[in-house]
Amino acid sequence: MRPFELILYIRVAFGIILQLVKKNFPKIKKAVIAVAGYGTRFLPASKNVPKQMFPIIDKPIIHHVVDECVNSGIEDIIIVTQAGHGIMEDHFDTHVELEHILEKNGKRALLEQIKHLPEIANFAYVRQNKHLPYGNGTPLLTVSHLIDDDEAFVYMFGDDLTLSKIPVVKQLIDVYEKEKPSAVLAVQEVDWNQIGKYASIEYKEHAKYKYDMKMGHEKLPPNEAPSNMAQFGRFIFTYDVIREAKKTPLGKGNELWIIDILNRLVAKGERVIAQPIVGEWMTTGDPLTYMQTQVKFALKRKDIGREFAHFLKTLKL
């Protein structure tokens, strides 16, 4: 083989290898946020306002979730909604009248903030069909046609929030890019008396990676749970997860559970990682946890945190 032919051969081979790597593990730029629940524990407040639009200080819950995506390098955000969630679309859209009022009143900082909202990501909204089963895995069926079969993506619950120096989504992306599993799910240690509210994780022994999942168990009582590591609403999924979701039977409560989907993948020999996060996960799923999250976010705010902490100390509890 002549030298120039050898160089050409090497270049072609390298190009093929590079394309295969890109095909199997492309950069993650897309997130799916599930917000299709009814928020019944917040009725009557959630009758006409989606729970995810309830404020945490001066931003709706969904806005904080989107910020976590954007700060992790996500560019395309698909929000899975249901009837009555148009207010969510309006929040991330242009508001010409409000912009005019802010400009007229000289409130430049607020004006720039409002004008910038539609530009922070490419938004798409998909309504979850009523014929689909109920469950935290159902939005995957709703968006299956919007995800490429060689694509990994972020999946999030729209009512789970996190506080961390490195965004939790970015932490999971880093693990995915290093380990190349079929899925990564975020977990955090909770009190044993609380584990029955969540999916608990059982880890493999002597695994390639110490957080390789052996099995997840949905809402087992504390005396039966294999650990107090709880799954929450942050995931990295390959298309394998969507493909498996389409074949997964309904589980507990006649619902489609993510943990059931992931268990089926593990049983087929696929790797699923249950990664503990560095930071704090907070849920807003009921009035108590919502108010607890409000307090923690307020205390972290540079503009009001100190005064708010002083106020709390004055309360006679």
CATH of the domain at 302: 3.90.550.10
Q: Which of 13-22, 38-47, 92-101 has the lowest mean pLDDT?
A: 13-22
Q: Please give the residue that has the higher pLDDT: either 238 or 207.
A: 238
- For residue 275, is it within any domain? yes
The bridge status of strand 183-189 relative to strand 272-276 is parallel
pLDDT at 2: 59
| Percent of the chain residues past pLDDT 70, beyond the cut | 92
Residue 259, judged by CB atoms within 10 A of its CB (0-12, 13-18, 19+), counts as buried
22: pLDDT confidence band, cut at 50, 70 and 90?
A: very low
Q: Please give the residue that has the higher pLDDT: either 107 or 23.
A: 107
- For residue 267, is it within any domain? yes
Domain range for 179: 26-314
Contact predicate 263/216, CB 8 Å? yes
- For residue 8, is it within any domain? no
Q: Please give the residue that has the higher pLDDT: either 118 or 161.
A: 161
Q: Which of 61-65, 105-109, 179-183 has the lowest mean pLDDT?
A: 105-109
Distance CA 14, CA 12 (A): 5
Over residues 218-222, mean pLDDT: 90
Q: Which of 13-22, 27-36, 74-83, 191-200 has the lowest mean pLDDT?
A: 13-22
Q: If you average pLDDT over every residue of the chain, what do you get?
A: 88
Asked if the model's pLDDT at residue 126 lies above 70, the reply is yes
pLDDT at 9: 56
21: pLDDT confidence band, cut at 50, 70 and 90?
A: very low
- Whole-model pTM: value is 0.87
The angle formed by the CA atoms of residues 24, 161 and 312, to the nearest 5 degrees, is 160
pLDDT at 173: 97
pLDDT at 94: 84
- For residue 21, is it within any domain? no
Strand partners, 185: 235, 274
- For residue 50, is it within any domain? yes
pLDDT at 187: 96
Over residues 188-208, mean pLDDT: 90
Over residues 116-123, mean pLDDT: 90
Over residues 303-317, mean pLDDT: 92
Asked if the model's pLDDT at residue 213 lies above 70, the reply is yes
- For residue 9, is it within any domain? no
Q: What is the pLDDT of residues 40-68, one digit of tens each?
A: 889 898 888 889 999 999 999 999 999 99
Asked if the model's pLDDT at residue 105 lies above 60, the reply is yes
pLDDT at 12: 54
71: pLDDT confidence band, cut at 50, 70 and 90?
A: very high
Question: Which positions ≥6 away from 149 have C-beta within 8 Å?
Answer: 239, 243
Task: Count structural domains, the chain.
Answer: 1
Question: Which positions ≥6 away from 83 have C-beta within 8 Å?
Answer: 127
Q: What is the pLDDT of residues 234-289, one digit of tens each?
A: 999 999 999 999 999 998 888 999 999 999 999 999 999 999 999 999 989 899 99
- For residue 157, is it within any domain? yes
- Residue 9: helix, strand or coil by DSSP? helix
- For residue 19, is it within any domain? no
